[in-house]
Structure 1
Amino acid sequence: MIVRDFQTKSKKFLLNVSKAKELIVDCSKKQERHYQPVRISGTTVERVDSFRYLGVHISQDLSWSRHTNSLAKKARQRLYHLRRLRDFRLPSKVLRNFYTCTIESILTGNITVWFGNSTKQDRQALQRVVRSAERISHTELPDLQTIYYKQCQTKARRIVKDPTHPNNRLFSLLRSGKCFRSLKTKTERLKRSFFPQAIRALNQGN
């Protein structure tokens, strides 16, 4: 087992099994499979159906409803403070800056990871928070789809400029030298994931 082998080879590595979690991601459409539990040093690792990693809730079916629900809840709580600032008659520019720093930053955290494969309902729930902030601040705010594409473009350009990046080879120019070659995708999940979307965003920006 990889974990046990790594723990054996690393003299300074100590794994706290009580805090470790096992998350099985199986996208197969075949009948449900049964997996043996992972045991480390005689202790069974707890199996979970979702796990929060670097602020992102990852579910075993790779759906993002749990994550977007968490984002919407946090962002709605911040709307209270935005209303309080409005009641103090602060200028719209200040309200917009507050929104960008405390609400938009929540809604768009790691957006290139999950937004592409989020459902229409999840996106609408998040966008309703943006519209509420617009009504409170009396100013136009960027929609999440626009922010998503811009962040895809930004991250993709960094990868293209870095020949040492492990995924640099995915961005290959066509003979024209103006557009990047689209990636072949067999599933809708892959089509809506970061790299195909990033290439599409780059080509639209050219």
Structure 2
Amino acid sequence: MSLTRNKKNVSQFQYSLKDEPLHRVTDYKYLGVLITSDLNWNAHVKYVFNKTPTKLFFLKRTLKSSSCETKLLHIKPLYVQCSNTQILPGSLTRR
């Protein structure tokens, strides 16, 4: 993946490391953020949205015998994260 300021006339340079060609990718996960070659947030939002229910199920199972306050402390951030991707997906992408 090559990132440039110029969206037009992007040269397809073949990068290499120790004379071994590097494979070109269209997206890359860096520090938990999915970066695509067109710098669009849709793939990252979809990734987070699909990952959240799995985490939520794990927490519900783990915290089954915990107090209500403890459950809210751990589950609320995931709920907010999931609902924000449903409510605000258009605000995260450039059109």
TM-score normalised by length of structure 2? 0.64
Distance 1:37 1:27 in 2: 18
Identical counterparts, % of pairs: 23
Aligned: 1:123 with 2:79: no
| Structure 1 unmatched runs, 5+ | 1-22, 108-121, 128-188, 190-206
Q: Deviations over 1:39-96 (max 9, x none)?
A: 23221111111111122111111112222222122211122245447865842x2221
Q: Which has more helix, going by share of residues?
A: 1
Runs of 4+ in 1 over 6 A off after TM superposition: none
Q: 1:97 to 1:41 in 2, by over 3 A?
A: same
Given that residues 50 and 58 in structure 1 are in contact (C-alpha distance below 8 angstroms), is that contact kept between their aligned partners in structure 2? Answer: yes
- Structure 1 residue 28 displacement after superposition: 3.3
Task: Choose which of 43, 58, 65 in structure 1 pairs with 2:35.
Answer: 58
Equivalent residue, structure 2, for 1:28: 6
Q: 1:87 to 1:55 in 2, by over 3 A?
A: closer
Larger radius of gyration: 1
Q: 1:87 to 1:54 in 2, by over 3 A?
A: closer
Ranked by relative contact order (alpha carbons within 8 Å, sequence separation 6 or more), the top structure is: 2
SS at match of 2:11: coil
SS at match of 1:48: coil
- How many pairs does the alignment contain? 90
RMSD: 3.7
